Amino acid sequence: MRPGHPTEQAVGMEYYVSDADGVGGRLREDDADFRVRELERFDTEPVDAPTDAYPHLVFRATLQGWDTNDFASRLSDALGISRERVNWAGTKDKYAVTTQLFSVYGADPADLPEIDGVEIEVLGRAGRNLEFGDLAGNAFELVVTDPERPENAAAITDALCEFGGLDERHRSGGSADGSSEDATSIGVPNFFGQQRFGSRRPVTHKVGLAIARDDWEGAVMAYLGNPTEAEPESTQEARTFVEETRDWQEALERVPHRLRYERSMIHALAEYDGEPGPEEFREALERVPSNLQRLFVHAAQSYAFNLMLSERLERGLPFDRPVEGDVVCFSDTDAPDGLALPDTDRLQRVDERRVDSVTRHCERGRAFVTAPLVGTETELADGEQGEIERAVLDDLGLEPADFDLPGEFDSTGTRRAVLLRTDLRLETEPLTLEFALPKGSYATVVSREYLKVNSVDLG
């Protein structure tokens, strides 16, 4: 174990599991060097099924140079329909080659347009639209550009294999995307990656923490202020001006139009005649889309979760098996072959008499130790893990009841596996990492162990 990169420590990822120096280099030199394919879990009927019962056309799209939202907008414009009639199961990045499912209400295959950078494969029809979560996970193929120490990849793999903790019978085999049997089972802490908090300007958790503390002014200012060197100079100057003056009218002249969410908040504050109070700051924060409002709170929960995992590492507690007081979840029995998919609706508290039996389930990949994404319904663990959870919340000045919040900010919480396991294939020419992850997990928490570079270079 060694200290993490400072940019990652700032969002709670305080350690690397592997001690070896990273291979160095960078990801996403070219879109084709970062490939993502959804592991699908959505049934369809034949394309000639009756449209009254199955009105949603389902297709698989491979996108290059498109993020999911922009493609959905381009598609709906070409079809002459509302953007709300286009749905998908998971959002993907623009700077990659991505393959994912879409559904379109009321469309026929002949209606689908040809779009540059897009390949479409019609799959059939469905009685409902795709929703977030209608996938088991994602398969990744990542090419490392200009690695400085590619020979270190083997030592890193050995360390991650040991950390994953599967018994010998379950350490090798084919991966969920059908790769060959030269894959090695590895494990890493199931951190929330840098993208959760903002890759170049990690502030969403700061906003969420202020919301949970009922500090609406602090939440707004955390989003409007906090300039970083990764931003253009004009943006840094505008954020500094807002922090120093609170002159909302003048801020509208200075804040670039591309910062549309910041400008929405500033417009709300500029409309108020007088000095804004907590209610006005809350209303300003509610000007941003509802999914971003939820993201703020989720980022605060994710930050606390990362800190809990880092403290578990610091204390030397295992990730691959429980200790007394842990809360475990069991595997999803409907997951694709070779993909370990935790089901956090099936929880069990581990007391002294259950430690050995639950350990055997964990060794076989059938159960997973968890930590909380804290919300109003969270029940903290017992034992040493419970001490960790309570200490982190105390340090942050939070408790589960603080997430009883208005509107989109409210969160009941859940639990999440602390260990992320995957079958990894390693190619050397060029250095390439191939693996599959369950939905909600981040490829960067695997790649960070190998490269050990600034998170900006992880894409």
In angstroms, rounded to a whole number, what is the distance separating the alpha carbons of residues 343 and 330?
A: 6
* Cα 420 off chain centre by: 13
* Cα 80 off chain centre by: 32
Residue 183's SS3 state is: coil
In angstroms, rounded to a whole number, what is the distance separating the alpha carbons of residues 188 and 438?
A: 13
In angstroms, rounded to a whole number, what is the distance separating the alpha carbons of residues 266 and 198?
A: 21
Stated as kind and residue range, the H or E segment containing 342 is: strand 342-349
**Active-site entry in 67, 93, 158, 247:** 93
| DSSP per-residue string spanning 202-266 | --HHHHHHHHHTT-HHHHHHHHH----TTS-HHHHHHHHHHHHH--HHHHHHHS-TT-HHHHHHH
DSSP H helical ranges for 57-144 = 68-79
Q: What are phi and psi of 155, to 5 degrees?
A: -65, -35
Q: What are phi and psi of 213, to 5 degrees?
A: -90, 5
**Residues 179, 184, 185: CA angle, nearest 5 degrees:** 105
Looking at the DSSP bridge assignments, the partners of residue 329 are 347, 368
In angstroms, rounded to a whole number, what is the distance separating the alpha carbons of residues 353 and 6?
A: 41
Active site residue 116: no
Stated as kind and residue range, the H or E segment containing 158 is: helix 153-164
Strands 97-105 and 34-40, sheet pairing: parallel
Two tokens, residue 427: 């190619």
Of 216, 265, 221, 212, nearest to 409 (Cα)?
212
* Cα 173 off chain centre by: 26
Stated as kind and residue range, the H or E segment containing 125 is: strand 118-126
Active site residues: 93
